[in-house]
Amino acid sequence: MTNYQEAEIQDLVLSGQLPRHVAIIMDGNGRWARKRNLPRFAGHRFGLESVRKIVSECAKRNVEVLTLFAFSSENWKRPQKEVGVLMDLFMTALKQEVKKLHKNNVRLKIVGGREAFKPKLQALIQDAEDFTQENTGLTLVIAANYGGRWDIMQAMKRMMEDVMSEQRSMDSLGVGDLDQYMSLSELPEPDLFIRTGGEQRISNFLLWQLAYTELYFTETLWPDFDESELAKAIDSFSSRQRRFGRTGEQVEQVAGA
Ligand code: FPP
């Protein structure tokens, strides 16, 4: 838990001041490199620097969860060499950063179809998660071989297994019941979604979980996204009124109570 009490957080979240969960599509590494006549992989290497900065800044700002889209289920379509570079970067980052994350009380969680990765990478992922699982500070979620449709489908399959084995009844199923089967089930839903790199789309990221999330798009390319860029995104978030289907007057009453 952060410096804030649970009830205070609820109020702050309702009045839109503090994001508990920030989710980011880190786009623009390739363009950043091309602008400097560098190969695309150089953009990904510098992108990792931005990851370090933003993880540390989120921890400082008492953000509870930071979810980063590192590799989508569609990214396998990229040139084989680039896929290889991204996998190597992921392995190196896991090897080099885990101790530092642990020292900073960060809990690491990887979501996505990890069976597609080489056994060595799968083992590194498992070790990193085990090593940091008791940490109580920022939860850093890395979405790797992840797709929003995949997530809904795997959740649906597991829920139907429970229906078929009669642990659940079909008639009692409601919208919220799928939540507990989703990849981020035990975490609060994202409050603030950020996409860098100028595109304004969700690209099969957290489709189910983004239902009420505030969306923020910036032209800034991911390797240029730093602490001041994050501050701009959080300021934009703080200036919005989140209504969750209620009226503006109802929200003002709750916030003022
Ligand atoms: C999108 O930029 C970025 C990615 C597909 C990979 C993101 C990876 C990192 C930031 C580094 C590794 C991170 C971790 C957590 C280990 P793009 O290549 O699509 O850029 P473009 O749109 O300019 O081509």
For the chain, 257 residues long, give each residue's pLDDT as a single digit of tens: 444 455 555 555 555 578 999 999 999 999 999 999 999 999 999 999 999 999 999 999 999 999 999 999 999 999 999 999 999 999 999 999 999 999 999 999 999 999 999 999 999 999 999 999 999 999 999 999 999 999 999 999 999 999 999 888 898 899 899 999 999 999 999 999 999 999 999 999 999 999 999 999 999 999 999 999 999 999 999 988 776 777 777 777 766 66
Ligand 1 contacts CB of residue 122 (under 6 A): no
Atom number of ligand 1 nearest to Cα 72: 5
Long-range contacts of 117-121 (CB under 8 A, 24+ apart): 117/87, 117/144, 117/145, 118/87, 120/91, 121/87, 121/90, 121/91, 121/94
Give the start-to-end residue ranges of the domains of the chain: 6-256
* Predicted pLDDT of residue 252: 76
Query: pTM to 2 decimals?
Result: 0.90
pLDDT value at position 6? 54
Report which protein residue has its CA nearest ligand 1's atom 8.
70
Q: Whose CA is nearest to atom 5 of ligand 1?
A: 71
- By annotation, the residues acting in catalysis are 27, 75
Render the burial of 190-224: b for 16+ CB within 10 Å, e for the rest: bbbbbbbbeeeebebbbebbbeebbebbbebbbbb
The response to whether residue 68 sits with its C-beta less than 6 Å from ligand 1 reads: yes
pLDDT of residue 8: 54
Give pLDDT, residue 248: 76
Q: How far apart are the first and last CA of the chain?
A: 24
**12 C-alpha to center of ligand 1: Å?**
32
Pocket test for ligand 1, best of 25, 26, 67 (most atoms within 8 A of CB): 26
Edge-to-edge strand list for the sheet holding 107-111: 107-111, 139-146, 65-72, 21-25, 192-195, 214-217
Q: Which residues contact 217 (CB under 8 A, 6 or more apart)?
A: 194, 195, 198, 199, 200
Alpha carbons 219 and 50: distance in angstroms, whole number: 15
**From CA 230, how far away is CA 54, in angstroms rounded?**
8
Distance 28 CA to ligand 1 centre (A): 7
Q: Which residues contact 86 (CB under 8 A, 6 or more apart)?
A: 44, 70, 71, 75, 78
CATH superfamily placement of domain 6-256: Decaprenyl diphosphate synthase-like (3.40.1180.10)
Closest residue by CA, ligand 1 atom 12? 48
Q: Is 109 in the pocket of ligand 1 (CB under 6 A)?
A: no
Q: Closest Cα to atom 10, ligand 1: which residue?
A: 47
Using the structure block, give the residue that is written with the tokens 């838990």.
Answer: 1
